[in-house]
Amino acid sequence: MATGTLYTYPENFRAYKALIAAQYSGAKVKVADNFKFGETNKSAEFLKKFPSGKVPAFETADGKYLSESNAIAYYVANEQLRGGKCPFVQAQVQQWVSFADNEIVPASCAWVFPLLGILPQQKNSTAKQDALVVLELLNKKLLDVTYLAGERISLADIVVFSSLLHLYEYVLEPSVRSAFGNLNRWFVTILNQPQVQAVVKDFKICEKALVFDPKKYAEFQAKTGGKQQQQPKQKEEKKPKEKKEAKKDEPAEELDAADEALALEPKSKDPFDAMPKGTFNFDDFKRVYSNEAEEKSIPYFFEKFDPENYSIWFGEYKYNDELQKVFMSCNLITGMFQRLDKMRKQAFASVCLFGEDNNSTISGVWVWRGQDLAFTLSPDWQVDYEVYDWKKLDPKSEETKKLVTQYFSWAGADKNGRKFNQGKIFK
């Protein structure tokens, strides 16, 4: 009987396939202790065993290595789960395993991930409709059959079930799932098998669908350091043909797919072009700011600033209560700067973090061309601005002078007395 260690992070639906299969077969599958996603699976030791660096991954007791969740589930399963003795039923199991990977998972990720904040929300996305088509197909099938392959629970049921978990947890609220009565019946049947309950604990079927929350996305960006934002550039260099062929059947690739969509969009013109060009030259100021001390660069700013055609803003992060680690907050700021890349030419900002771990605030002083909130000019820029409160500052007031001086020189404290900790310059 199969025995070994499964590497995964908790509640990974892909890992569930193997863990449920093991409940049926009695295979001894131990989940690795102390697994840290992004760390353990990127270590040299792990990559030597599993070159893809992906999880779930399985190490047998006698030192053999398997990756790919479906293969692992097959290995730890028993004859019944693999489809029994009949080659046709075995083939049906394969059919549904492929269906889950190629149809369900991409549709589910495209719908659910933006709502979880791990992918940007795309305009005119057909993700929901695409998923509903897949669900309807399953629903039709399950009118006539109790299980997907043969008359026993098999890997077909386990894999399809696991691949549907995100949908049933986050978006299939009662009014949506009521259209899929047969699928619901089957889902509840599988969910309530003791072998499944032993793995998928406390699962609650969706009461109210998640809605997109820009804050969550910003937080995710903070944690990942806005990593995927840097990808479109590399992608653009590839030939368009390759882009279209890219598959999108897993989160990592999903991210790429989202980026591709962005990259394929016709390059928008610089939104600032529509505004009158004043006398304030950002490049000159930025050069002075970078090379000279603040005693020089701040007076230079006020001397050259053109209030007719430019404006100064104060932006305060709305969810300071939820800021935890300082480095995460800094990533939050850097991520935002990356997303606002195209604004750089016509804007400057100093954004500061005050306080320490678990007690900090983010705020900044921004300068840009035009008199209105610049973020509405381009859809790319709207991800972050909703998570800040924006206040336009009067360029002539003393108060503004003080704020600008404080923020440009990275000093002082926030309004509740938290000391300056770190600053980031958008230039």
Partner 1 sequence: MCDVAVVKKIANCLGVAPGKVQLNDEQVVTRTIGQNKTVQGFATILESLARESKSEAAQNSTSTKEVKAQVYQWLEFAVLYVAPGSKDKYVSKQLLADFNKLFISKSYLVGNFITLADLAVYYAIYDLMKSLSPVDKENYLNLSRWFDHLQQRPEVHQGEPLLNFTTIYLHGWATGTHI
Give me the DSSP letters along 193-209.
SHHHHTTSTT----SS-
Smallest distance from ligand GSH to CB 17, Å? 8
Stretch binding partner 1 (CB under 8 A), from 62-70, 137-145, 160-168, 216-224: 137-145
Residue 189 is a binding residue for partner 1 (CB under 8 A): yes
Out of ligand GSH, partner 1, none, what residue 144 binds, judged by CB under 5 to 8 A for its kind, is: partner 1
Residue 221 is a binding residue for ligand GSH (CB under 6 A): no
Out of ligand GSH, partner 1, none, what residue 188 binds, judged by CB under 5 to 8 A for its kind, is: partner 1
Minimum CB distance to ligand GSH smaller for 154 or for 162: 162
Minimum CB distance to partner 1 smaller for 90 or for 121: 90
Which residue is listed with tokens 């009014």? 175
Residue 53 is a binding residue for ligand GSH (CB under 6 A): yes
Residue 54 is a binding residue for ligand GSH (CB under 6 A): yes
Q: CA angle 61-66-68, nearest 5°?
A: 140
- Report the first-to-last Cα separation within the chain, whole angstroms: 61
Binding mask 249-278 toward ligand GSH (x if CB under 6 A, else -) reads -xxx--------------------------
Stretch binding partner 1 (CB under 8 A), from 112-120, 189-197, 308-316, 347-355: 189-197
Smallest distance from ligand GSH to CB 52, Å? 7
Pick out residues in 149-178 that bind partner 1 (CB under 8 A). Answer: 151
Q: Can you read off the two tokens belonging to residue 186? A: 């089957």
Residue 379 is a binding residue for ligand GSH (CB under 6 A): no
Which residue is listed with tokens 């949506």? 176
Sign of the Cα pseudo-torsion (166, 172, 173, 178, in order): negative
Which residue is listed with tokens 């386990």? 158
Q: DSSP 3-state assignment of 238? A: coil
Minimum CB distance to ligand GSH smaller for 55 or for 330: 55
Smallest distance from ligand GSH to CB 72, Å? 7
Closest CA to 427 of 229, 329, 282, 267: 282
Smallest distance from partner 1 to CB 27, Å? 20
- Measured between alpha carbons, how far is 263 from 269 in angstroms, rounded to an integer? 14
Q: In sequence order, what are the beta bridge partners of 67?
A: 57
Q: Which of 68, 173, 236, 341 binds ligand GSH (CB under 6 A)?
A: 68
Q: DSSP 3-state assignment of 146? A: coil
Closest CA to 189 of 164, 212, 170: 164
What φ, ψ does residue 60 adopt, rounded to 5°?
-75, 160
List, in order, residues 6 or more apart from 103 with CB less than 8 Å away: 134, 137
Out of ligand GSH, partner 1, none, what residue 185 binds, judged by CB under 5 to 8 A for its kind, is: partner 1
- Bridge-based pairing state of the strands 57-60 and 65-67: antiparallel
Q: Which of 95, 98, 129, 146 binds partner 1 (CB under 8 A)?
A: 146
Q: Which of 23, 40, 69, 90 binds ligand GSH (CB under 6 A)?
A: 69
Minimum CB distance to ligand GSH smaller for 57 or for 183: 57
Smallest distance from partner 1 to CB 97, Å? 21
Q: Quick check: 127 and 104 in contact, CB under 8 A?
A: no
Integer angstrom CA distances of residue 426 from 53, 317, 333, 415: 34, 16, 9, 22
Smallest distance from partner 1 to CB 186, Å? 7
List, in order, residues 6 or more apart from 97 with CB less than 8 Å away: 70, 155, 156, 159
Residue 55 is a binding residue for ligand GSH (CB under 6 A): yes
Which residue is listed with tokens 């002078």? 401
Q: Can you read off the two tokens belonging to residue 392? A: 């336009």
Smallest distance from partner 1 to CB 193, Å? 6
Residue 184 is a binding residue for partner 1 (CB under 8 A): yes
Residue 56 is a binding residue for ligand GSH (CB under 6 A): yes
Residue 163 is a binding residue for ligand GSH (CB under 6 A): no
**DSSP conformation class of 408:** H
Q: In sequence order, what are the beta bridge partners of 349?
A: 366, 426
- Measured between alpha carbons, how far is 159 from 83 in angstroms, rounded to an integer? 13
Stretch binding partner 1 (CB under 8 A), from 19-27, 32-40, 180-188, 262-270: 180-188
Residues that bind partner 1 (CB under 8 A): 140, 143-147, 151, 181-182, 184-186, 188-189, 192-193
Residues that bind ligand GSH (CB under 6 A): 12, 14, 41, 53-56, 68-69, 250-252
